[in-house]
Structures are given as structure tokens and as C-alpha cells.
Amino acid sequence: MYRNIFLMFIFFVLLCSGSKCSSTVQSNGSNEASADSVKTILKGLNYPWEILWGKDDYIWMTEREGKISKVDPVTGKIIFSASIAEVESRNEGGMLGMVQHPDFLTNGLFYVVYNYESSNGYREKMVQMKFENGSIKPGKTLIENIPASSIHNGSRLWIDNDKIFMTTGDAANQPNAQRTTSFSGKVLRFNLDGSIPADNPFPGSVVWSYGHRNQQGLVVANGIMYASEHGPNEEDEINIVEKKRNYGWPAVNGPCDENGEKTFCDANNVKEPIWSSGNNTLAVCGMDYYSSNLIPAWNNSLLMCTLKDASLRVLTLSKDGLSVTSPKTFFKNRFGRLRDICISPAGKVYICTSNGGNEDLLVEISKP
């Protein structure tokens, strides 16, 4: 009998070594991913901040110390890389958000946000650059001299209907979030050439919404703009961003559910979040919208990275997109801190880590 058991064990080992057995990766006890559906595309990165699926079907990436790279998502090979000398990286500051012009394939234009040192101190700017003949050419500065800090700099970019939206943090000066004359703690809106749209809510200003703490995720889906926002020590948020709306910070954190908050919300037309983390903080970050049949269970969901919680959150939306109906957690503590996410046209999901030490990863997910 023991001989038969031993032979069965040997057969099982040989069978698995032939790749017919697939292992699973446990995620917080309830969600799993098969090992062959998750693979590392690229290693040796140092604080990647933005990853986006480029219009040329390559992944474009920023790293906080000032690097911009173009990556082949199939081979993991870095096709192009350049560093912007003006970038000044301080803790959370450095090279941040990036987005490509709608006509990038013909004009090579793209936009980046980064922090720099000026005569006025540490500051933030958005610059239009051009990728041409395998090199980056400096371009037009759309906005500069935004207050920056070693914390709370934002900044994500999104283009919708030929308008650029940019998130900014409060740069550790909380009252500025409520001042519509300040560019801190805001969503800003520009024309593609950097001019001020005529229909912006505050005449002569790029301010679109205000009362934000530190937004590091931004996506438009089905005509609705969603932003993920860090709370101080609780109540991380997902907000629907609307024109001229106040989002409460620093008087309000999360929903308007305390007496003082209710008074402020009533008096200032505060827009409450559609989701919050409750009495803890996840350090919510990059976000994208999933609408592919490759992973049907994730359809009509916001996919959101978290830093402190070290997980990917899948937040299924209601049919009208105005609420979160079914939040789920994946890959908790599998890769460490997760900074950003992008999705290919085929529905593959890419995430980048934010652990530092030249040990960060770019990972592909094709099945939950």
C-alpha cells in the first residue's frame, strides 16, 4: 500500500512539473489569481508614477526622479528612455502625471507634470513636450509656479473632449484648498494649447473644482469624471468631479456625517464622495475604468491601486455610474505598494509598484 502511495506522489510531482498544474495566489482570503495569468513585464524600476497605454500601443511611463520611458508590453524591453534635468524629486514630489495629445501619432505631443526648484521655492508645472525622431523636445509650459511640497502634490492628467484636466494637492497648506484663487487642492481645466476655456466656472481661471486634499487617480468613463483622493488618517475617497463644486477639505473629511461637517456642507454646496474607506486609510492612488470581456467579472468597474493597503481594489459601479455597488480586493501584499494602473485595448491590466530601491515592477494581469 505504501509503495502505491509513493508512486502516486511521484506521478503527481511529474505531472505538475510538466506545467499541467497551476498554482494560485491568495488575495485576502477570498479572491485568487492563477500564476500563469500574472506576469512581471519589467523589473528594476525606481518609483514609477504614471503608466499609460499609449496611442502607439506601447506603455509610456514616468519615474519620480525624472525619467520618461516607452516600454514594449510584450517583451518588456525599454524602447526609449530620457530624463528631464529640471525635475526635482523630494519624497512624494518629482516627475508625476503624463497624458498624450489626442493626435499624438501625428504630432508627437504629450503633457507631463513635475516639481522643480525655482526662485520662489519648490514648485509644480505642467509642460507640453514633443516626441520626435526618437527623442523628447522641450515644449510649451502650460502652467507653472503651483505650490509644491514633499507631500500632497497630486497630480494626474486626463484629456476629455479636447480639454486637459489636472489634479493638484494642497501641498501641505490645507486652507489653500478652499481658496479659489489658489491652484492648490484643485482640479484644473485647460484647452490643449494651455489657454483658459471660456466655459470654466471662474472667469479667467483654470480652476474647475476645489476643496481637495491630494488626488492621485483620475479617469472619465461614460461621461463621468472620477477621482481618488487621500484622506488624512481615515476616509479615503472616490469623488465624481463636477464643475464649480466644493469637495470640503479641510473642513470635511469623507461624507458630511459630523455636526460641523454637515453645517459646512449645507453652506458650501459640498459634493460628497460616492465611496470612502471608512475609519481607516488605504492610500488610494492610480485608477482606471474596466469595460473589457477579457475579465468579465471586472466589467463596469473602477480599478484602483492602493499604497498603504498594498492591493488592487475592484469597485463595481451601478448602472448609472453614480455609486459603488460591489468592492473587492485583489493581490493584497503580493507586490507591495501599488502606484498606478493602465488597461490595454485587449483588456489586459498593467500595474506598477512603488517600493523604491530600484526594485519596482511593471506587472501584467490577464485573469483574476
Instruction: Flag whether 89 is in a domain.
Output: yes
Domain contains 232: yes
In a domain, 1, yes or no: no
Predicted local distance difference test score (pLDDT) of residue 33:
52
CATH number at residue 331: 2.120.10.30
- Distance CA(264)–CA(255), nearest Å, equals 12
Mean pLDDT confidence for 93-122:
97
pLDDT value for 9: 44
Q: What is the DSSP letter of 331?
A: S
Residue 302 confidence (pLDDT) above 50: yes
Q: Which domain holds residue 339?
A: 23-365
The pLDDT tens digits of the residues spanning 228-280 come to 999 999 999 999 999 999 999 999 999 999 999 999 999 999 999 999 999 99
| 230's grid cell | 487621500
- 13 in a structural domain: no
pLDDT value at 29 more than 50 = no
Task: Note whether residue 4 is domain-resident.
Answer: no
Least confident of 2-16, 194-208, 212-226: 2-16
Is residue 21 over pLDDT 90? Answer: no
* 8: in domain: no
DSSP annotation of 11 reads H
**pLDDT for res 12:** 40
Mean pLDDT score of the chain: 92
pLDDT at 311: 98
* Structural domain contains residue 95: yes
Q: What is the mean pLDDT of residues 354-363?
A: 97
Omega cis (within 30) before 37: no
Whether 236 contacts 276, CB under 8 Å: yes
What values do phi and psi take at 5, rounded to 5?
A: -65, -40
State the Cα–Cα distance between residues 262 and 229, nearest whole angstrom: 20
Domains held by the chain: number: 1
Cell of 336: 507591495
pLDDT confidence bin for 315, thresholds 50/70/90: very high
The pTM assigned to this predicted structure is 0.90
pLDDT at 7: 44
Q: Residue 35 has what pLDDT?
A: 57
pLDDT for 352 beyond 80: yes
pLDDT of residue 355: 97
Average pLDDT rounded to a whole number, residues 196-200: 98
Long-range contacts of 134-138 (CB under 8 A, 24+ apart): 134/80, 135/82, 136/68, 136/82, 136/84
Is residue 252 helix, strand or coil? coil
CA of 201: how far to CAs of 66, 77, 163, 188, 242, in Å?
33, 44, 14, 11, 10
